[in-house]
Amino acid sequence: MSDYYDAFEISPVPAPGPDAVAPEPFRGIYGMPAFATVPTGDLAASAAFWVRGLGFFELFAIPGTLVHLRRWAFQDVLLVAAESVPERAPAMSISFACVLDQVDSLVEACRALRPDSVDGPRDTPWNTRDITVITPENARIVLTAAKPYDPASQEAHNLAAIGITPPDTGRGDHGEHAGGR
């Protein structure tokens, strides 16, 4: 099994670091390996929040029925017209990767559109900085940015405990899990 850091070679998500740059929006059409479907009572208002607040773009729309949104490759959301939406955000959430230098601007953009929509940012024990956003249709969205690796941090200790180390440190096996390949 390849490790966490080797996966960045094939992923659209950049490796964590102070100079990490978000990839360009991907406008190509592909068979989506996964996507979120979010019901909404107001397609236009929901799409505007996702685009102006969360940084998605409209890939295409079927008027009055569906809006297909995307950020990076493999970050697809289908907003679908619904008669009603939940009155509260559900317990589950969906997470989308971002980079550290996007966190503050995403918080500002979402709060400008809906002042009480954002919780965070907060640092996690698994070495990310996250914000949680409740969208107009009460979807719980987590935007998560990997933080640079600091071998002295508690987060590095947590990652090492599950067998993840950066490729230039550790056991020389790029942090493969104890079970090997």
CATH number at residue 42: 3.10.180.10
The pLDDT mean for the chain works out to: 83
Would you say residue 167 has pLDDT above 90? no
Would you say residue 36 has pLDDT above 50? yes
How far is the C-alpha of 25 from the C-alpha of 70, rounded, in Å?
Answer: 8
- In this structure, how many other beta carbons lie within 10 angstroms of the beta carbon of residue 165? 21
Helix, strand, coil percent values for the chain (each to nearest 5): 20, 25, 55
Report yes or no on 27 lying in a domain.
Answer: no
pLDDT: is 79 or 32 the higher one? 79
Report yes or no on 63 lying in a domain.
Answer: yes
Would you say residue 180 has pLDDT above 50? no
Report yes or no on 177 lying in a domain.
Answer: no
Torsions phi, psi of 115, nearest 5?
A: -55, -35
Domain count, the chain: 1
State mean pLDDT over 31-58: 94
* Alpha-carbon distances, residue 143 vs 9, 65, 87, 168, 174 (angstroms): 21, 26, 22, 28, 26
The residue segments making up the domain with residue 114 are 6-19+34-161
Report yes or no on 166 lying in a domain.
Answer: no
Report yes or no on 10 lying in a domain.
Answer: yes
pLDDT: is 11 or 138 the higher one? 138
